[in-house]
Amino acid sequence: MNTQILEINEQSLALSKQIIVGGGVVAIPTETVYGLGANAFDTQAVDSIFKIKGRPNDNPLIVHVHSDYDISMLVSEIPEYAKLLAKAFLPGPLTMVYKSKGVVSSSVSCGLDTLAIRIPSHEGAQKFLKYVGLPIAAPSANISKHVSPTSAQHVFDDFNGKIQLILDGGRCKGGIESTVLDCTGKVPVVLRSGLITRDMIAQVVGECREYVYKDGALAISPGMKYKHYSPNCRTILFSYDRLEQAVQTYRQECQNGVKVFLLCDDSVAKLAGCENVLNLGADENQIAANLYARLREGERVAELIIAIAPQKTDGVMVGVMNRLCKACAN
Ligand code: AMP
Ligand code: MG
């Protein structure tokens, strides 16, 4: 199969609709990462997403809809706090999990009685969702466990020959996946951290909890238990306060002839003074936006990536650290 990367215009939107209605998958840009989308009503199409990605079949997908879409067609029990949050943050990088009405394919939620819904703010994503006029089930458009894609080229690198169309909406500005928020209880619970932080949510609705997955426990957000986001090279992660050891390890590995690169933010790069650096940028939004691109760059040039955690660990950095820890897990 020939994989096309096309700018978003009338012609490519028409082609994307033809593919989606025909039961195929299309890669689409969002403000977080690129997604691999299929018609959420079509079980075969949804199942093919799992096959193409090699995604475990107990890790549910998020349904993406246009900002005009009436989500009460898909889910029941929308609590008052969810309406407030929708007003404050949507369209945007916040996915909300509700009780499902069971009208989309049961493959989307892997048999769970809940449904995760997201309204992306990316202009190209909105155009696509309006044009196809269907709820689109879409996980990140990467081979399962590999680094998530933040450009059309990243998607191409993983799926060349395996999918027909990548809609090119430029580089994703957000850079890490949406915050996933359980809205089925009295109080919202963050299942996956992202750019909409727990504090931002609590500011709107008063209280917000955070779910911590413990190994072996039954996961309410099944995606959290998997290794993820990993580059195809060796990685080591050091906390910020172990910067000195990280630099020592870098020097030692260099002496051993290993192609080693530091992955760190701009301030750490200056302190470390190492030659080979994958620089994540200066502030937390840059760090989130650059994380996956630098990891993908790293796997091309390095045999070993030594990552150093940013000094700040709250806010958006909760989401960044979650990705970094999984990317560097063994
Ligand atoms: P990805 O599509 O790769 O961004 O992953 C989607 C994330 O949303 C995973 O962490 C899933 O576990 C989570 N998710 C999707 N649907 C649900 C659901 N119904 N309940 C809880 N978590 C969900
Ligand atoms: Mg993913």
Quote the tokens at residue 327: 């990317």
Predicted confidence (pLDDT) at residue 146 exceeds the cutoff of 80:
yes
Q: Report the length, in residues, of the chain.
A: 330
Give the pLDDT of residue 218.
55
Ligand 2 center from residue 83 Cα (angstroms): 26
**Which is higher by pLDDT, 329 or 314?**
314
Residue 62 near ligand 1, beta carbon < 6 Å: yes
Q: Which strands form 234-238's sheet, in the order they lie side by side?
A: 234-238, 304-308, 260-264, 277-279
Give the pLDDT of residue 297.
98
Condensed to tens digits (0 to 9), the pLDDT of residues 37-85 reads 999 999 999 999 999 999 999 999 999 999 999 999 999 989 999 999 9
Q: Minimum-distance ligand to the CA of 108? A: 1
CA atoms within 13 A on the CB side of 240: 11
* Residues 224, 231: Cα–Cα separation, whole Å: 18
Mean pLDDT value across the chain = 95
Q: Minimum-distance ligand to the CA of 221? A: 1
Give the pLDDT of residue 202.
98
Question: What pLDDT band is residue 300 in, cutting at 50, 70 and 90?
Answer: very high
Condensed to tens digits (0 to 9), the pLDDT of residues 238-263 reads 999 999 999 999 999 999 999 999 99
Residue 177 near ligand 1, beta carbon < 6 Å: yes
* Residues 74, 24: Cα–Cα separation, whole Å: 22
Question: What pLDDT band is residue 220 in, cutting at 50, 70 and 90?
Answer: low
Ligand 1 center from residue 276 Cα (angstroms): 35
In this structure, the residue with its CA closest to atom 5 of ligand 1 is 139
Give the pLDDT of residue 276.
98
Give mean pLDDT, residues 222-247: 85
Ligand 1 pocket, mutate which of 77, 99, 178, 192 (most atoms under 8 A from CB): 192
Condensed to tens digits (0 to 9), the pLDDT of residues 186-212 reads 999 999 999 999 999 999 999 999 987
* Residues 161, 103: Cα–Cα separation, whole Å: 32
Closest ligand 1 atom to Cα of 148: 3
Element (H, E) at 308: strand 304-308
Predicted confidence (pLDDT) at residue 185 exceeds the cutoff of 60:
yes
Predicted confidence (pLDDT) at residue 219 exceeds the cutoff of 90:
no
Give the pLDDT of residue 222.
54
Q: State the DSSP code for 40.
A: T
Element (H, E) at 174: none
∠ CA 196-198-199, nearest 5°, is: 100
In this structure, the residue with its CA closest to atom 7 of ligand 1 is 223
Give the pLDDT of residue 249.
97
Residue 223 near ligand 1, beta carbon < 6 Å: yes
Q: State the DSSP code for 291.
A: H
